[in-house]
Each structure stands twice: as structure tokens, then as C-alpha cells.
Amino acid sequence: MSNALFNFELVTPEKILMSDSVSSVSVSGVEGDMTVLANHSPIATSLRPGYVDINTNVKTERFFLTGGFIQITSDEVVVLAESASSEEDLNSEMIDNVIEKTKSLMENASDLQKCVLAKKLNDLTNIRNQL
């Protein structure tokens, strides 16, 4: 693993959860899981429900994200999360609440939105079953 560091921020609508120099970030992208190291090619993509693992040279932190976006440049990664919880705070009741909210959104959704929400619902159910 690379020892080179880059800037990382994990941001929710409520606050900045983390802003630090890190050596790698692993996330659940909509097109697959990815690990970002320093000098990564620039990309911006959506995130599906899952975990973000953040590694510094000293520690590893893990947060559960309900979804969001990631912007990657050669020297910075910014995750804009719908919501985020530390792994220690995550429980099945929290996941169940997000599942119920997702189900209610499906009621008035377009066909395309229903496809996206069905995938999100599947991801959330899998995560809940792993708890």
C-alpha cells in the first residue's frame, strides 16, 4: 500500500465528519467497489449504501453511508454522503428506518427512480442481514 497521503473529507448535510490526510479510501461505488490511493485519476461518481474505509498511516476508520457522491482528484477525495454513521453506532434499527424511507419513496417514483431505489433497497437489506 502507498504511504503517500492526500486530503480527505467526509461531509453530510449536517456536518463534516472527517477532514484529514489519509493514505487510502475504499468505498462502494454504484459501478463497483473502489480503493483510492494518492495520485488517482480524477473521477466523480455516485455511491451506493455501504461502508467507507479510511486509512491513515496511524489508524483506520469505518463509516456506514446510505449513499451519496465521491469526487476524486489527484490530491483530494471528497465524499458527500446522504447520511453517515460510525460503524460502532450502526444497528439494525437504523438500517430498518432507511429501508422504510426507501420503500415510501418508491410509492410515487417514476419507473427509472423505482429501479434505482430497488437497487438501494437490495443493498440495504444485504447490509442489515450482515449485522
Report the distance separating Cα 94 and Cα 83, nearest Å. Answer: 11
What local confidence, expressed as pLDDT, does residue 3 receive?
75
Dihedral of CA 101/106/127/40: which sign? negative
Phi/psi at 111 (5° precision): -60, -45
Assign 130 to helix, strand or coil: helix
pLDDT in tens, 93-118: 999 999 999 999 999 999 999 999 99
Q: What is the mean pLDDT of the chain?
A: 93
Q: What number is the average pLDDT over the span 48-70?
A: 95
Beta strands (DSSP E) in the chain are 6-11, 16-22, 24-29, 32-36, 43-47, 50-55, 60-65, 68-72, 76-81, 84-86
pLDDT in tens, 41-57: 999 999 999 999 999 98
Domains of the chain: 6-87 (2.60.15.10), 91-130 (no CATH)
What local confidence, expressed as pLDDT, does residue 2 receive?
53
What local confidence, expressed as pLDDT, does residue 131 receive?
83
Look up the pTM and report it.
0.88
pLDDT at 75 over 70: yes
